[in-house]
Amino acid sequence: MARNRAVLTYLTLVLMLLAASTAQAAAVITMQVEILAGFSIACEEDNLAFGTLSPEQTVQKELELTVWSNVPWDLYVDYTGTGDLPGLLEVQDERGVWLSLGDNSRMVLFDQPETGRDGSALTIPVRFTSSYSDAPGTYEFQIEFTVVPSL
C-alpha cells in the first residue's frame, strides 16, 4: 500500500512538472485597430402631416429622432425643397427658441455627448403657420436633419 502511494505521489509530481513546463509557453500578440468617428440618425416617421389649416393658423407637432454617435455632436436642420416654403415652418432648439427654416441651416442641438450603443432618443417640436400669402392648395416640402461632430 505504501508502495502504491509512493508511485502515485511520484506520478503526480511528474505530471505537475510537465503541466508547469507547458504552461510556461506563451505568445504575446499586439492587436491594433483604428475606430473612426461615426454618426447615424433615424426618424420614426417619414411623413408628418399638419392637416388642413386656415390662413394664419398654427399647428405644432413633434418628430421622434434617434441619433448614434461615438463623439460629441451637433444636430442641424434645413429646408431642402426648391422654391419658397409656404407659410412659416419652425423647429424648436434645445434652449426653447423657435427657429424658422427656409433660408439656411439651423443648429437645433449643440455639444451633445457620445450616445453609446443605444443612441439618444430625441423629441423635436416642429410648427407650421399658414399665411394669407399662400394660395389654397396642398403643399409638400422636405426638411433634413444632419448630425455633425461638435467643434
The per-residue pLDDT of the chain, averaged, comes to 90
The number of distinct structural domains making up the chain is: 1
- C-alpha cell read off for 71: 463623439
23 assigned to some structural domain: no
Instruction: Using alpha carbons only, give the angle 125, 129, 134 rounded to the nearest 5 degrees.
Output: 145
- C-alpha cell read off for 46: 417619414
How do residues 20-56 score in pLDDT, each as one tens digit?
655 567 899 999 999 999 999 999 888 999 999 999 9
Domain housing 43: 39-149
In this prediction, residue 116 has a pLDDT band, given cuts at 50, 70 and 90, of: very high
The reported pLDDT for the residue numbered 59 is: 98
Read off the pLDDT of each residue in 88-95 and give the average, rounded to a whole number. Answer: 96
**pTM higher than 0.75 for the full model?**
yes
DSSP 91-146: EE-TTS-EEE-SSS-EEEEEEEPP--TT-EEEEEEEEEE--TTSPSS-----EEEE
Place of cell 450616445: 115
44 assigned to some structural domain: yes
Closest CA to 40 of 139, 141, 146: 146
CA dihedral 151, 42, 79, 123 (to 10 degrees): -80
Q: What is the CATH number of the domain that holds 43?
A: 2.60.40.1090
123 assigned to some structural domain: yes
22 assigned to some structural domain: no
The reported pLDDT for the residue numbered 55 is: 97
